[in-house]
Structure 1
Amino acid sequence: MISVNEYFNATVKSLGYTSAKGKSTIGVMEEGDYEFGTSTHETMTVIEGELIAQLPNETEWKSYTAGDKFEVAANTKFKVKSVGQTSYLCQYK
């Protein structure tokens, strides 16, 4: 079953699904600043656009564009800035 998710007053939307690799979401963020919390390990891949992320325990911000990915441990928070609309794939472990 495909689940529909909306966050931050519908400025972030995603579709959740389960594949042979496990649970994933594919979504789009409007331009803006966001802080997410994790309950499981996440690997986020930028499909199109740009995310500037500040990962847990980091002071620097880093830019991620199409094809780039980053990982976030379970039970942490991370911040992203979406430059324009950005699409992403998030895989959960």
Structure 2
Amino acid sequence: MEFKNVTVVKKANIYFDGKVVSYTVKFEDGTTKTLGCMQVGDYTFNTGAAEVMEFLSGELSVELPNQKEPLIIHSQATFEVPANSSFTLHVKSIADYCCSYAK
């Protein structure tokens, strides 16, 4: 996938002592995405807006709100996270992702 006519914020978003790094991409219609990479580890994120997480590579399990069983990802997968919630990722191999935010 390729994005055209976007603005990329040069300053990185750095989380968990540099183990999760992303860059913000802004679109002409006002929407925002982040493109990033996660090293092996366990990470809990809190959401303000609803998110759509698309993993492009990696092996991980995801604990989502209101789900009894974790989502197991081997390479590519997409899932939604509701606004004002949290989710936990257990990354077993380096994973890269695209996160889309609700307006």
TM-score (norm 1): 0.91
How far, CA to CA, are the matches of 1:42 and 1:51 in structure 2?
Answer: 18
Paired position in structure 2 for 1:9 = 17
Point out where structure 1 has 5 or more consecutive residues left out of the alignment: none
Asked if 1:62 corresponds to 2:85, the answer is no
How far, CA to CA, are the matches of 1:31 and 1:82 in structure 2?
Answer: 5
Runs of at least 4 residues off by over 6 Å = none
**CA deviations over 1:52-85 (Å, ceiling 9, x no partner):** 1010122211112333100001100011111211
Paired position in structure 1 for 2:5 = none
Q: SS state of the match for residue 58, structure 1? A: coil
* Correspondence list, 1:66-81, <5 A: 66-81=75-90
Point out where structure 2 has 5 or more consecutive residues left out of the alignment: 1-7
How far, CA to CA, are the matches of 2:74 and 2:101 in structure 1?
Answer: 20
Question: In the alignment, residue 66 of structure 2 is paired with which amino acid?
Answer: N
Question: In the alignment, residue 12 of structure 1 is paired with which amino acid?
Answer: V
Instruction: Give the greater-gyration-radius structure (CA).
Output: 2
Question: In the alignment, residue 40 of structure 2 is paired with which amino acid?
Answer: E
Determine which of 45, 55, 60 is the counterpart of 2:54.
Answer: 45
Contact 1:46 1:89 in 2 (8 A): yes
Q: SS state of the match for residue 70, structure 1? A: strand
Q: Give 1 or 2: higher strand fraction.
A: 1
